[in-house]
Structure 1
């Protein structure tokens, strides 16, 4: 008989909300990147109606580049943060 009282949930027993919160705590830059991407797209769509003489394709390209830049920047910061935790933070006595 096992007397293990550790009640850990399997990934299949976990709800979507709790899974998102757990993943956000493990890797905090992912939700920041998603929020930035959403904010840039929302701002671009809002400004789309007052585009003036600019072609729509140019506005969409600029919006896409800005959103991709935000996501790549978030990924880079996250990678640097986790590299710091993995290597240099462990070297401290």
Structure 2
């Protein structure tokens, strides 16, 4: 029940410490959306719906890429850098 006692600010800080790619993904998504909104003025003959679809796909692609890199980093850290800690934990049981 400790997760219910946690405030939103401390939960965000904890999540950022657990996975450092979360703020990278959020910042990238905000940057892409901001850039595409700024670029909307000079979209030319492109329909609004097509421009918005491109913006959504780019932002989602960046977030999924950041999540993938974060998972790969976590797996690398857990299984390549510190594999002995898991083996020690299994021997004590």
TM bucket normalised to smaller: 0.7 to 0.9
Structure 2 residue 6 is matched with structure 1 residue 14: yes
Structure 2 stretches lacking a partner, 5+ long? 85-93
Moved over 6 A (4+): none
**Count of residue pairs the alignment pairs up:** 84
Aligned residue runs from structure 1 range 24-39, under 5 A: 24-39=16-31
Aligned residue runs from structure 1 range 1-93, under 5 A: 10-91=2-83
* TM-score relative to the length of structure 1: 0.78
Structure 1 stretches lacking a partner, 5+ long? 1-8
CA distance in 2, matches of 1:55, 1:11: 45
Higher helix share: 2
Give me the CA root mean square deviation: 1.8
